[in-house]
């Protein structure tokens, strides 16, 4: 099948899948809004998550139909679909999201991604993410905070409030610690100490730990590697991505880092950042080994 035809077929299947499941999702979301009974809303939330899991399964279905890809997915044993996980990953392409969902769907609870506030405006998908309680983050630059100091800490407070929603229902909180996709120009500009990664931003993760650290059973550290090249979304849809490696490692959360005041406790902040730095050093070495292996 020619790449253009393959990409077009994949795009039609993707859009059809989105529209079908979003119709169901929005119908139940409307019920959740108009019925103020907590028990009913909790039940509807479970239905919404089940719809999302089925949506992801269908994504995997059309990917198998249209992509001739060699998947190398290495998972830890005994993952729990009823547990609580904090999931971190390197970030290189929009394709990463489909890769993560394909690799982890139904093995752990539905992934809830930290998203930039601007993404809520994306047609259809923005409303779907909102309906599924994905946390939307509004990042402020240093210059903006100097001009409006009252905004300081609001993005992290948003993290805390979002995570409070996840206390009653098994959830996998997903965060790309780099905050943006890896590009060599970004790497060089921030003078990253890692060969294949941008500097991690530990604040959002720390505030999630503060909000529900005792509930997280562990951290799932995901390393995504594209052996041939990092694909754009359209290249992926055209079937031009022949191989993908996904390494998932389950890591314990140090007890002294499960709860702390990241913003005001300098010692806790330093220890948390050191822990994340060590995770990132290990991931950088993994990526280096995978690249050398080819």
Q: Do residues 98 and 241 touch, judged by C-beta distance below 8 A?
A: no
Structure tokens at 83: 């547990």
* pLDDT per residue rounded down to tens, the chain (294 residues): 688 999 999 999 999 999 999 999 999 999 999 998 989 989 999 999 999 999 999 999 999 999 888 999 999 999 999 999 999 999 999 999 999 999 999 999 999 988 877 888 888 999 999 999 888 777 666 676 667 676 666 666 666 777 777 878 899 999 999 989 999 999 999 999 999 999 999 988 888 888 787 889 999 999 999 999 999 999 999 999 999 999 999 999 999 998 888 888 999 999 999 999 999 999 999 999 999 987
The boundaries of the domain holding residue 127 are 69-293
Q: How many CB atoms lie within 10 A of CB 169?
A: 15
The answer to whether residue 47 sits within a structural domain is no
The answer to whether residue 106 sits within a structural domain is yes
Give the pLDDT score at 117: 79
Instruction: Give the count of domains, the chain.
Output: 1
| pTM metric for this prediction | 0.90
Query: For residue 283, what is the domain's CATH number?
Result: 3.40.1130
Structure tokens at 3: 């790449």
Q: E strands along the chain, which residues?
A: 70-74, 85-89, 111-113, 115-116, 136-137, 172-176, 218-225, 243-251
The answer to whether residue 82 sits within a structural domain is yes
The answer to whether residue 247 sits within a structural domain is yes
The answer to whether residue 161 sits within a structural domain is yes
C-alpha dihedral sign at 196, 198, 199, 202: negative
The answer to whether residue 288 sits within a structural domain is yes
* φ/ψ (deg, to 5) at 163: -70, -25
Alpha carbon of residue 238 to chain centroid: 24
The answer to whether residue 211 sits within a structural domain is yes
Alpha carbon of residue 290 to chain centroid: 22
- Please tell me what DSSP assigns to residue 149: G
Q: How many CB atoms lie within 10 A of CB 160?
A: 16
The answer to whether residue 87 sits within a structural domain is yes
Q: Do residues 90 and 224 touch, judged by C-beta distance below 8 A?
A: yes
* Separation between Cα atoms, residue 127 and residue 130, nearest integer Å: 5
Q: Do residues 177 and 280 touch, judged by C-beta distance below 8 A?
A: yes
Give the pLDDT score at 186: 96
């Amino acid at each position: 099948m020619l790449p253009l035809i393959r990409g077009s077929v994949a795009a039609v299947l993707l859009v059809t899948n989105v529209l079908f499941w979003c119709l169901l999702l929005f119908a139940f979301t409307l019920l959740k809004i108009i019925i103020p009974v907590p028990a009913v809303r909790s039940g509807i939330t479970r239905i919404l998550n089940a719809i999302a899991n089925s949506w992801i399964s269908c994504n995997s279905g059309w990917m198998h139909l249209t992509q001739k890809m060699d998947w190398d997915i290495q998972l830890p044993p005994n993952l729990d679909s009823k547990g609580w996980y904090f999931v971190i990953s390197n970030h290189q392409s929009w394709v990463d999201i489909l890769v993560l969902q394909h690799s982890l769907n139904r093995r752990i609870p539905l992934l809830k991604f930290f998203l930039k506030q601007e993404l809520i405006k994306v047609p259809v998908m923005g409303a779907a993410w909102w309906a599924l309680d994905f946390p939307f983050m509004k990042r402020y630059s240093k210059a903006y905070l100097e001009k409006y100091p009252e905004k300081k800490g609001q993005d992290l407070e948003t993290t805390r409030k979002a995570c409070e929603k996840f206390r009653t229902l098994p959830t996998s909180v997903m965060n790309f610690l780099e905050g943006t996709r890896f590009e060599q120009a970004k790497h060089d500009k921030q003078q990253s100490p890692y060969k294949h990664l941008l500097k991690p931003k530990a604040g959002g993760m720390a505030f999630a730990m503060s909000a529900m650290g005792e509930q997280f059973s562990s951290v799932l550290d995901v390393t995504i590697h594209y052996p041939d090249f990092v694909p754009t979304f359209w290249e992926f849809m055209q079937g031009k991505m022949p191989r993908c490696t996904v390494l998932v490692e389950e890591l314990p959360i140090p007890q002294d880092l499960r709860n702390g005041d990241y913003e005001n406790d300098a010692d806790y902040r330093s220890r948390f950042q050191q822990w994340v730095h060590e995770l990132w050093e290990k991931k950088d070495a993994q990526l280096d080994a995978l690249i050398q292996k080819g």
